[in-house]
Amino acid sequence: MSNAQKLIDFIKKSPTGFHAIDTIVRELEGFEPLQESENWRLQPGGKYYVTRNRSSIIAFTLPKAPFKAFQLIASHSDSPTFKIKENAEIAKGKYVQLDTERYGGMIMSSWFDRPLSVAGRVLARTEKGIKTILVDLDKDLLIIPNVAIHMNREINNGYKYNAAVDTFPLWGSDETKDTFKAEVAKAAGVAPEDILGADLFLYNRMEGRVWGVKDEYVSAPRLDDIECAFASVEALKAAGDSHHANVCCVFDNEEVGSTTKQGADSSFLYDVLRRILLSLGRGEEDYYKALAASFMLSADNAHAVHPNHPEYSDPVNQTQMNGGIVVKFNANQKYTTDGVSEAVFHQICQKANVPVQHYANRSDLPGGGTLGNISGSHVSINTLDIGLAQLAMHSCYETAGTKDIDYMIDGMKAFYETDIECAADGEYKL
């Protein structure tokens, strides 16, 4: 199976961030699960993972000999969507709709006139307490209908959507009143009254597909940033022996600023890296030495030149789908890449025969932020921002290049297999 097809399958199994982490856990065959609330007894040569909130994960492999550095790749599990509110149903005339609010900065128009469903997690009462159950209603259940052009002649003249008016999805006729919770409970396999809490989201039912005369494109929901998360997990599994510890992080909540207990702006990574060293009997100073010698790839998708609007791209620092791994630059350091990290990564990719291209925002456009600089405020290490070129970022159906998935897996694998030795501040051997 091609990596593009594997990615499509991965996304199908991952309608929400909770499901994405669950899918990753299933992919990590031979990795031992750790709980943050228990003692860790790590062994050199071991492979482990730990989750936080079931929506962020850090997986790592340890070399057999004592190691001096971590080499990390970070991406995110969440995507812009609509979250369903606690009192979910709105009964209005002959209709029942769901009450939703925006999660992240989506392209709202992309969510109209297509089958949607509901997925997420519920917290259900058990005899002993409460348990988490992932749910996916896995059926075409909802549509956000456009207003007919005869009723809104302005729709093609730059219409401003209102999330409290335009985007409530239709759940059914008035006969479906009071069925939402029962349907969620049925999917969870529990009684409706046993559901004590929930985090439920809409998702696009349109499955991913490879398309184009030469099969050059892949379109799917949530390519930003499941594409990079998928590639990093594939690379971690495939990477051979090294003299450093390899770490693969997939954080939740990047789309809403990362400031949650499990986001990149939390103590999660700091805690895990420290605990790895402490569990191996290493001291406090070893932690600081390791951070100084460590290196991170912050992997989040980038913008391809738009076919109808090439003017939004920089004249020369612009990127194409199927053109290879994108290295992102920003003078104001919204992207962490600098001369040092660019040089190190460039050399790794050159040796591995992986094409690299360079991205910067057009100089009068602010662009978006990502994980690298946020994570760096807790665990400050040399970092590089990378991604893959895609179209329609934050649409509920995005488009990328099929070859790029192979390039990203190869580049990340080469990164994990290269021992980047920090000889002095700004000096590297690799």
Give the pairing of strands 421-424 and 427-429. Answer: antiparallel
Whole-Å CA distances, 315 to 308, 319, 320, 361: 15, 10, 13, 10
Closer residue to Zn ion (CB): 137 or 386: 386
What residues from 287 to 306 belong to the interface with Zn ion (CB under 5 A)? 300
**Spatial distance between the Cα atoms of 410 and 413, rounded to a whole number of angstroms:** 5
Closer residue to Zn ion (CB): 22 or 225: 225
Residue 374 DSSP SS3: helix
Nearest to 116 by CA among 159, 92, 147, 81: 81
Closer residue to Zn ion (CB): 252 or 410: 252
Do residues 167 and 82 touch, judged by C-beta distance below 8 A?
A: yes
Asked whether position 225 contacts Zn ion by CB under 5 A, the answer is yes
User: Which of 92-100, 142-150, 221-229, 411-419 is the region at the interface with Zn ion (rule: CB under 5 A)?
Assistant: 221-229
**Spatial distance between the Cα atoms of 300 and 296, rounded to a whole number of angstroms:** 13
Closer residue to Zn ion (CB): 371 or 420: 371
Give the pairing of strands 382-387 and 295-299. Answer: parallel
CB of 393 to Zn ion, least distance (A): 7
DSSP state of 68: S
User: Which of 43-51, 151-159, 220-228, 311-319 is the region at the interface with Zn ion (rule: CB under 5 A)?
Assistant: 220-228
CB of 225 to Zn ion, least distance (A): 4
CB of 263 to Zn ion, least distance (A): 13
**Spatial distance between the Cα atoms of 94 and 97, rounded to a whole number of angstroms:** 10
Closer residue to Zn ion (CB): 224 or 252: 224
CB of 429 to Zn ion, least distance (A): 32
CB of 391 to Zn ion, least distance (A): 14
**Backbone angle region of 91, left / alpha / beta, with phi > 0 → left and psi within -120 to 50 → alpha:** beta
Asked whether position 89 contacts Zn ion by CB under 5 A, the answer is no
**Spatial distance between the Cα atoms of 336 and 72, rounded to a whole number of angstroms:** 14
CB of 415 to Zn ion, least distance (A): 19
Closer residue to Zn ion (CB): 225 or 265: 225
Asked whether position 224 contacts Zn ion by CB under 5 A, the answer is yes
Residues 6+ apart with CB under 8 A from 292: 381, 422, 425
User: Which of 35-43, 173-181, 223-231, 399-407 is the region at the interface with Zn ion (rule: CB under 5 A)?
Assistant: 223-231
**Spatial distance between the Cα atoms of 384 and 345, rounded to a whole number of angstroms:** 8
Size of the residue set binding Zn ion (CB under 5 A):
3
What residues from 17 to 46 belong to the interface with Zn ion (CB under 5 A)? none
CB of 255 to Zn ion, least distance (A): 7
Q: Three-class SS string for 49-66?
A: EEEECCCEEEEEECCCCC
**Spatial distance between the Cα atoms of 302 and 29, rounded to a whole number of angstroms:** 30
Closer residue to Zn ion (CB): 199 or 225: 225
User: Which of 216-224, 311-319, 339-347, 401-409 is the region at the interface with Zn ion (rule: CB under 5 A)?
Assistant: 216-224
What residues from 91 to 130 belong to the interface with Zn ion (CB under 5 A)? none
What residues from 298 to 357 belong to the interface with Zn ion (CB under 5 A)? 300
Closer residue to Zn ion (CB): 89 or 300: 300
Do residues 221 and 11 touch, judged by C-beta distance below 8 A?
A: yes
CB of 388 to Zn ion, least distance (A): 11
Do residues 124 and 190 touch, judged by C-beta distance below 8 A?
A: yes
Closer residue to Zn ion (CB): 136 or 398: 398
Closer residue to Zn ion (CB): 89 or 224: 224
User: Which of 81-89, 212-220, 224-232, 234-242 is the region at the interface with Zn ion (rule: CB under 5 A)?
Assistant: 224-232
CB of 403 to Zn ion, least distance (A): 20
**Spatial distance between the Cα atoms of 405 and 408, rounded to a whole number of angstroms:** 5
User: Which of 222-230, 312-320, 372-380, 406-414 is the region at the interface with Zn ion (rule: CB under 5 A)?
Assistant: 222-230
CB of 243 to Zn ion, least distance (A): 31
User: How is residue 32 written in tokens?
Assistant: 């031992």
Angle at 201 between CA 196 and CA 204, to 5 degrees: 150
Asked whether position 410 contacts Zn ion by CB under 5 A, the answer is no
Residues 6+ apart with CB under 8 A from 170: 95, 96, 97, 142, 143, 144, 145
Write each residue from 175 to 214 as x if it is in contact with Zn ion (CB under 5 A), else as -, in one continuous string.
----------------------------------------
- Sheet hosting strand 195-204, strand order edge to edge: 130-136, 116-125, 195-204, 81-92, 95-103, 170-173
Give the pairing of strands 47-52 and 56-61. Answer: antiparallel
User: How is residue 267 written in tokens?
Assistant: 């103590």
CB of 400 to Zn ion, least distance (A): 12
Give the residues lining the site for Zn ion (CB under 5 A): 224-225, 300
